[in-house]
Structure 1
Amino acid sequence: MPRFLHTADWQIGRQYARFAPEDALALAEARFSAVERLAGIARQEAVDAVLVAGDVFDAQTVSDRTIRRLFNAMGAYAGPWVLIPGNHDAALAESVWSRARRLGAVAPNVHLALGAQVMAFPERGFVVLPAPLTQRQTPADETAWFDHAETAPGLVRVGLAHGSVQGVLAEDIDSPNPIAADRATRAALDYLALGDWHGTRRIDARTWYSGTPEQDRFKANDPGNVLLVDIPAVGAEPEVEVRAVGRHPWIALEEKLAVASDLEGTIARLEALPELAVVDLSLSGEIHLLGRQRLEAALSVAEARFRSLRADLSGLRLQPTEDDLAALHADGYVGRVIAELREEQDGENAEVASEALAILAALLLEAQAQGAAA
């Protein structure tokens, strides 16, 4: 009986403006690479189809080159691909999908489900009931027609939709594209493949979100996967295997430093993170001068190891110890400046004062080292 790959939310063409240009380009390229890996898995596992539950593209305005590259990335799997539009790439009268067809980029084995109609693959033992979005937001449940869709007996019924299962996901992320929580039961579906939620999530035995194959947010909702789905027989419960495919995990760390050992723990946790990770590090608390130098050295190493590292030190207060100040030999005017900067760390210019204090301390230490070497 049928075997599928279920994936969604490729967001091809996404821009990463908050990142440095080099990292932004690599993260955009990673989305094409993820599709290539999916095609390889589909071929290796000899699936009967790849189901893509919406938001294939990040926007209607992606370039023609991006469109062509996406369909080229799918080339390693020659079986059926079934794609529906989501809220980012809705099937408007003029859309990224109509451009793709005009470009001749869509291969014969790629089936664009741009309307609500039964798509039968009797030679492979299944039918797909798609619920494509034809506008970015709709208050109606576009899967409602599944309940009355007639399909040939003996074929597995698979729903394909993009939206928010009502009453299950958190209220603040319920989208204007609602999906009834019991749609699979109402419509006698063997499986309902969903997109829109970027993490992998089981709604019930027959209803799953695959999540995006390449993580794109700092959310711990199990992204970076594809689902390998086996349906033993019509009416049988699907067998779903979650398979990790992402290369760039996005990891957010919030650390508070109070004593010297806290810094060592933070550095150890950074060193334990996987290479190619996208890391957002936020530090607060207090740190002494030698600790700040140790931190900066560790961040320099980590920056070269990770795909991207953003370190927010605005909440970190530099508190030189008496030994630190003595080592700086900062007396007279320089000593008064250091004292003023320490006090300013409690004011409205705290971040600037802390950074200035760190720079001044580093310059003093460097001058001392040069003097000793002369």
Structure 2
Amino acid sequence: MRILHTADWQIGKGFGRISGDAGALLREQRYTTVRRVAELATEHAVDVVLVAGDVFDSQTLPDAALRRTLEAMAGFTGAWVLLPGNHDAALAESVWTRMARLGVLPANVHPALHPEPLLFAGDRLAVLPAPLTRRHEPEDLTEWFDAASTPPGAVRIGLAHGSVTNRLPEGAAAHNPIADDRSERARLDYLALGDWHGTLEIAPRTWYAGTPETDGFRSRDPGHVLLVDVPEPGVSPTVTPLETTHYRWYQRHMSIGGAADVDGLDARLSALTDDPSRALLRLTIDGSVDLAARAALDEVLARWQARLHYLEVDDAGLHPQASDADLAAFEGSGFVADALAELRERQRAGEPHAADAIQRLYAAYQQLREG
């Protein structure tokens, strides 16, 4: 059997602080990535595509978003199995009931709304789903896999959305528990998981596919689907990650101490990616600079703001230190020069808020000069 395992599409995801065109393009890209998943399924002639939960980001998506998702899937005419996750749980009223009322579900698309085997490939492939019926379940919904009856000689595939106990990194969400030995206890040839947004083999024959389109700065190895080949029941599968992400998310830190470091930051950003328009960057800057270097830094950041898809800068740790050259540059500017000189003395004396005041004065003076 050959399976394409994916999860956590989260169609309609809001992306928080990434507003305007940048956020809108991220939301739009998710449909394009689903089309890419369909293309890969066709290219690799898989028997079924398993989507391990969180197909949709919320229950309140407009009908048009549900229709567009199904349209994006149309490139693969084989079987799709869509599992309700914590964002799109199988509630009494949900995205799943709306799609049924709309009558838009193609015959090859199977929402796994009940804990019962789904059979494919002439009953040679049995998918055992564990749909969430509310956002957080205290019990392990995969427990029924252990006693599930499947046709003799069928490949047994589990499908679930949640947290594998004792295996995820410290601090990871622990809702919707899944036993870390479920594949052994339920005699599964493969357990396809969703919820963790990075690609990860978490236990024997047990994988998180991760989101196919990277959606955060902290995700670990996201942006893939998994091609799973099971030669025959009882034989360990071969799992091949296939890259699918369009946008790439980066986190970087830089300490700035002068003009040379500003040039170095510009060089580092140039080396970040071959296509800045597909990059999102969270940049943390600390250090201490004079006002001339700060002006040069602002110019570099403004250029990269225009080049990158999104740039988020945290410069709370970057403190201005007005130099003699800065004071000379302000000569003739009256009270501004006087205020700057006084603030510099206060900063030297260790007054805690003097550096911030210098920065605000500098910013206001620059805006005034630029009109």
TM-score by length of 2: 0.92
Question: 1:28 corresponds to which residue?
Answer: 27
Q: 2:294 aligns with which of 292, 295, 305?
A: 292
Deviation digits for residues 268-313 of structure 1 (CA, Å, limit 9, x no counterpart): 2222223211111121221223322222222122112211111222
Residue 352 of structure 1 deviates from its aligned partner by 5.5
Deviation digits for residues 159-216 of structure 1 (CA, Å, limit 9, x no counterpart): 0000000000134224220000000011110000000001111113410000001111
Amino acid corresponding to residue 264 of structure 2 in structure 1 = G
Tell whether 2:74 aligns with 1:80.
no
- Asked if structure 1 preserves the Cα contact closer than 8 Å seen for 2:197 and 2:219, the reply is no
Amino acid corresponding to residue 294 of structure 1 in structure 2 = A
Amino acid corresponding to residue 62 of structure 1 in structure 2 = L
What is the aligned residue count? 365
Uncovered stretches (5+) of structure 1, i.e. residues with no partner? 368-374
Amino acid corresponding to residue 255 of structure 2 in structure 1 = K
Q: 1:356 aligns with which of 343, 346, 361?
A: 361
The 5 A counterparts of 1:206-355 are 206-274=205-273, 275=276, 276-330=278-332, 332-342=334-344, 347-348=352-353, 350-351=355-356, 353-355=358-360
- Asked if structure 2 preserves the Cα contact closer than 8 Å seen for 1:341 and 1:354, the reply is no
- Asked if structure 1 preserves the Cα contact closer than 8 Å seen for 2:83 and 2:160, the reply is yes
- Asked if structure 2 preserves the Cα contact closer than 8 Å seen for 1:284 and 1:316, the reply is yes
Uncovered stretches (5+) of structure 2, i.e. residues with no partner? none
Deviation digits for residues 137-156 of structure 1 (CA, Å, limit 9, x no counterpart): 11110000000011112211
Residue 255 of structure 1 deviates from its aligned partner by 2.1
Residue 248 of structure 1 deviates from its aligned partner by 1.2
Supply the distance in 2 between the matched residues of 1:129 and 1:348 (Cα, whole angstroms).
Answer: 61
Supply the distance in 2 between the matched residues of 1:343 and 1:168 (Cα, whole angstroms).
Answer: 55
Supply the distance in 2 between the matched residues of 1:343 and 1:144 (Cα, whole angstroms).
Answer: 69
Amino acid corresponding to residue 325 of structure 2 in structure 1 = D
TM-score by length of 1: 0.92
Question: 2:172 corresponds to which residue?
Answer: 173
Supply the distance in 2 between the matched residues of 1:332 and 1:62 (Cα, whole angstroms).
Answer: 58
Supply the distance in 1 between the matched residues of 2:177 and 2:58 (Cα, whole angstroms).
Answer: 21
- Asked if structure 2 preserves the Cα contact closer than 8 Å seen for 1:163 and 1:196, the reply is yes
Q: Helix, strand or coil: the match of 1:208? A: strand
Residue 341 of structure 1 deviates from its aligned partner by 4.4
Question: 2:193 corresponds to which residue?
Answer: 194
Amino acid corresponding to residue 302 of structure 1 in structure 2 = W
Q: Helix, strand or coil: the match of 1:123? A: coil
- Asked if structure 2 preserves the Cα contact closer than 8 Å seen for 1:8 and 1:53, the reply is yes
Supply the distance in 1 between the matched residues of 2:49 and 2:285 (Cα, whole angstroms).
Answer: 43
Question: 2:2 corresponds to which residue?
Answer: 3
Distance 1:343 1:242, change over 3 A: farther
Q: CA RMSD in A?
A: 2.1
Equivalent pairs: percent with the same residue? 48
Supply the distance in 2 between the matched residues of 1:201 and 1:102 (Cα, whole angstroms).
Answer: 36
Question: 1:107 corresponds to which residue?
Answer: 106
